[in-house]
Amino acid sequence: MRFFYLFAFLWIPLAAAQVKPTPAQKILQGLEQKAEMESTSIIQHIPLKNIGPSVMSGRVVDVAVNPENPNEFYVGYASGGVWHTINNGTTFVPIMDNSGTQNIGDIAVHWNSRTIWVGTGENNASRSSYAGMGLLRSMDNGKTWQHMGLQDSHHIGRIRINPENPDEVVVGVTGHLYSPNAERGIYKTTDGGNTWKKTLFVSDETGIIDVAHAPEDFNIMFAAAWEKDRKAWDFKGSGNTSGIYKSTNGGNTWIKISTVESGFPTGEGVGRIGLAVFNATTVYAVHDNQFRRPKKSGEQKKTDGLVKEDFKTMSTKDFLSLNDKKLNTFLKTHNFQEKYRADNVKQMVRSGAVLPIDLTKYLENANSRLFDTPVIGAEVYRSNDGGKTWKKQNEEYIDDLFYSYGYYFAQITVDPSNVDKIYLAGVPIIKSNDGGKTYSAINKDNVHADHHALWVNPRMSGHLINGNDGGINISYDDGENWIKNNASSVAQFYAINVDNQKPYNVYGGLQDNGVWKGPHNGEENSKWHQTGHYPWESILGGDGMQVQIDNRNSDIVYTGYQFGNYFRLDLQHKKRKYIQPKHELGEVPYRFNWQTPILLSPHNQDILYLGGNKLHRSMNQGDDWETISPDLTKGGKEGNVAYGTLTTLSESPFKFGLIYTGSDDGLVQVTHNGGGSWENLSIGIPFDSSKIKIGVSSNGLKAKTPELWVSRIAASIHKKERVYVSLNGYRWDDFTPYIYVSEDYGKSWKNIASNIPAAPVNVILEDPENENLLFAGTDNGLYVSFDQGASWEVFQNGMPNVAVHDLVIQPRAKHLLVGTHGRSIYKADISKLQLMTPELMDKNLHVFPLQPIKHSKNWGNASSPWTNPKTPGADLVFYSSRSDNFTARVMSSDGIELSKTIVKADRGLNILSFDIAFSKLGKMNYLKKHKTALTQAKNGKTYLPKGTYTIILNGNGTKEKVDLNLK
């Protein structure tokens, strides 16, 4: 297909506009602004209900266990807050829901004083490691939290409290993830956090990832410095300034002890380091060594078969002499397209169409580079002289522990009762009984991969509490058997969707926990332990990604895992087909985002779109593909992360082939003719020059398109010309909310982020019934607008400040589903919000109709002394233009007042919940006029009989009536 580009100017990559990190004070002001907005929101009473799931859990970053009673402990989830258990993990209670963030780096507890310290901002440098707001402290088990400073830290590595003095605290700060900053290093307080002193600073790109002290002496302390540089396109997780420091005065002063003379690695390849201190003399360190593995002389290949590295240096002559059977085995094993078999590939090489090295390039993508990087990886060092000298313990490579992403792990634990017994956390969890020389795996049944926290009982060796990407596991036999303790709804969703079944199902892709499906009305409780059927089920593994469901047959589902590995699932017949589009041999491989966008056409459910760096279309459910665009990005960048990729797709429901795309490097594009020609719309987006450093291209035009992640593009379902876009600066440490609307197919844009406080935006969603009603999900919560973005209201009744990654509306049920990255999925009835027109909001009072209620003679009567009776209630929703006291009276058809309630209403939507029962006076007046028998229920109440009643609501200078029908 020939493509035509319509550019407003020629894009020059060197002129990329740069993005400024948001100042810490601006972020804190945003949290204060949000708290104020929440208290005055006109929908503060509309509830959001968590519908789970919980069984797969989410990433744990730390555990803090009561040494006197290990049945009590706290769990810190990466983006799900801190949870407390007093029954050995049978149940948990969240204790940070009233705080400004749910993003956790580390937790520490001074058990004697019951003081809890939380370092916010995850200490792992992952794709979804969210920044925090500094240090928080609670003296009342989480009922209230005090902000104790370090607000520009973003990410905190470790907190250590002096066991003898709760006011003496040492904190290791890793600092910003995506930009340099000065607030990183070691900080110490001796007055409980009122003042802090920076006692160690290495550089503005080097933070402290771990701090440990001798159990018997708080003064003997070790710290691990980590130099790293993460960008959206590259991650450098090592450097010269990484190393180990020691303090002998409780963290007041430090000296570097990982020197060349010490025996510990130094130089550019020194990566993340984890520490474990047995006593003042014996110290362990696990190191993510990023130096390359040396090649052994005369090293023999482990296999007689071909591997992709063979073709990097192979000559044409040698390639043509390869055995056909051997070559075909390689081609089939590596999933080359069927047309590429030995005879025709040799013909392509013979004719010069491709070179042997193209077979290697055909297989190169972000995922292969991730696992193929030949670094030394995990290694363990031990010092027996307090850190003066170090000796590597492992004689062989510790393979298949870190792979090439040790930046995500590097945690080591020593058994407090056995100096030679250590545990290493990585993809699996492994242990050594000989000081790190040899290892055995303890990843057994019930244990998820990717481990980040481990507590070893100092009084009972073998009792372990382990935190990983799949939640909490407990073992009492040193890892031979594990209990899964996942009662908390802390799943980290990337994307969600719904089908049209009755009842409808919710689908979602999760961080490292695959793709799940479950009924929206499934109960989150432990009954499934007895029935053997959990309401939700896993339908695919890996890191779960976007989901599209055929609206003609909900058993046909399109979904996948990271880097564009997508499948067509037939759930009824338990079949799946791999459907990722493939480039041609000799072409540059397609680039696929970690969360590759897919879309079923609203015009024909056989038509599927999938975005790499180009847009691909299948007319037959993914069986065959055609590429319908050129590269729709700025072309990618050199680095180890797939970049220059599409992140979002939208096709207008008004016109087939009117398609919008957004990329991770800031481009918004449109085609009006199914890919025949494309237009770059990014130049028209009005970015604030105070937040964007404007570059100048070679033709003298301002390059006003910064490399912001286009998080969502949404063609309007109400107006053909309208389109919405949200952009996200998270990967620049930019917390500015960017939301825009265009009324002319993207030729011009209007900023509608309005009064949304500082937080990157992940999703913008238009309501299907009310074109003025918009929803926006940010890295710190949910917002709603009733005027197309002119102003926004906080929408979080029942949901803490958590990252909202995706939103979807089930139109028939009128439910909004909220996919969070840390607290699973929430559901809200938005039927009343959809009716909020300007005319309604101009009224002093509006009462919404009540749905009929089915009468029951069993109201108030329990089936046994051990169960609670079923009690009916009605929820009367009404809108008031201002705060006022309202009186609600329930009246019989002949004018008798049966009950009366007084309620204080806030400005906006209010919910009056009341019993469908007589008041004492109402019952007496009713019986005076109606000679009938009324039966009192066992709970002492007398419920209204079947019939139609009137509720009269009086307040704010007006009166409204509504029928209550008991049928």
Which 3-state string (H, E, C) describes 327-366?
A: HHHHHHHCCCCCCCCHHHHHHHHHCCCCCCHHHHHHHCCH
The helix-helix angle for 342-350 and 324-333 (nearest 10°) equals: 100
* Tens-place pLDDT, residues 155-174: 999 999 999 999 999 999 99
Tokens 């008004």 found at: 654
Q: In sequence order, which ranges of 769-919 are alpha helices (DSSP H)?
A: 831-834, 838-841
Instruction: With H, G, I as helix, E, B as strand and everything else as coil, classify residue 774.
Output: strand
Are 756 and 778 within 8 A, CB to CB? yes
Supply the pLDDT for residue 704. Answer: 58
Cβ-based burial of 483 (10 A; exposed 0-12, middle 13-18, buried ≥19): middle
Full-model pTM: 0.94
Q: How far apart are CA 504 and CA 59, in angstroms?
A: 28
Q: Which parts of the chain sit beneath pLDDT 70? A: 1-17, 296-303, 366-373, 691-704
Alpha carbon 22 to its chain's center: 21
| Kind and range of the H or E run holding 305 | none
Q: What's 615-660 look like in SS3?
A: EEEECCCCCCCEECCCCCCCCCCCCCCCCCCEEEEEECCCCCCCEE
Instruction: With H, G, I as helix, E, B as strand and everything else as coil, classify residue 371.
Output: helix
**Extended strands (E) in 190-323:** 197-200, 206-214, 217-227, 229-230, 235-236, 243-247, 255-256, 270-277, 283-292
Instruction: With H, G, I as helix, E, B as strand and everything else as coil, classify residue 732.
Output: helix
Residues 503, 504, 509, 515, CA torsion sign:
positive
**Token pair of 476 as six digits:** 């009492």
Tokens 């002063």 found at: 253
What per-residue string of b and e applies to 247-274 under the rule 16 or more CB within 10 Å gives b? beebbbebebbbeeebebbbeebbbbbb
Cα separations in angstroms, 476 against 138, 276, 355, 428, 592: 31, 21, 57, 18, 43
Residue 821, Ramachandran bin (φ over 0: left; ψ between -120 and 50: alpha; else beta):
beta
Nearest to 37 by CA among 787, 818, 756, 910: 756
Are 396 and 449 within 8 A, CB to CB? no
Are 293 and 386 within 8 A, CB to CB? no
Are 136 and 120 within 8 A, CB to CB? yes
Supply the pLDDT for residue 547. Answer: 98
Cα separations in angstroms, 475 against 454, 458, 713: 11, 14, 46
Nearest to 594 by CA among 569, 571, 580, 612: 612
Are 743 and 722 within 8 A, CB to CB? yes
Longest Cα–Cα distance in the chain: 108
Alpha-carbon radius of gyration of the chain: 30
Amino acid at 669: Q
Supply the pLDDT for residue 705. Answer: 77
Q: How far apart are CA 782 and CA 798, in angstroms?
A: 11
Q: How far apart are CA 627 and CA 625, in angstroms?
A: 7
**Extended strands (E) in 813-931:** 815-820, 825-829, 845-847, 873-880, 884-891, 897-905, 908-915
Give the single-character DSSP code of 203.
B
| Kind and range of the H or E run holding 38 | helix 24-40
Supply the pLDDT for residue 870. Answer: 87
Listed in sequence order, the residues at least 6 apart from 602 whose beta carbon sits closer than 8 Å to its beta carbon are 651, 653
Instruction: With H, G, I as helix, E, B as strand and everything else as coil, classify residue 831.
Output: helix
Q: How far apart are CA 886 and CA 87, in angstroms?
A: 44
Phi (first) and psi of residue 743, to 5 degrees: -105, 5
Supply the pLDDT for residue 1. Answer: 47
For residue 78, how many other CB atoms are within 10 A of its CB?
A: 30
Supply the pLDDT for residue 699. Answer: 34
**Token pair of 211 as six digits:** 């701090």
Cα separations in angstroms, 512 against 127, 449, 481: 12, 9, 22
Supply the pLDDT for residue 147. Answer: 97
Q: How far apart are CA 778 and CA 395, in angstroms?
A: 48
Q: How far apart are CA 715 and CA 30, in angstroms?
A: 29
Phi (first) and psi of residue 325, to 5 degrees: -65, -40
Are 815 and 828 within 8 A, CB to CB? yes
Q: How far apart are CA 135 and CA 194, in angstroms?
A: 11
Cβ-based burial of 672 (10 A; exposed 0-12, middle 13-18, buried ≥19): middle
Q: How far apart are CA 402 and CA 406, in angstroms?
A: 5
* Tens-place pLDDT, residues 68-126: 999 999 999 999 999 999 999 999 999 999 999 999 999 999 999 999 999 999 999 99
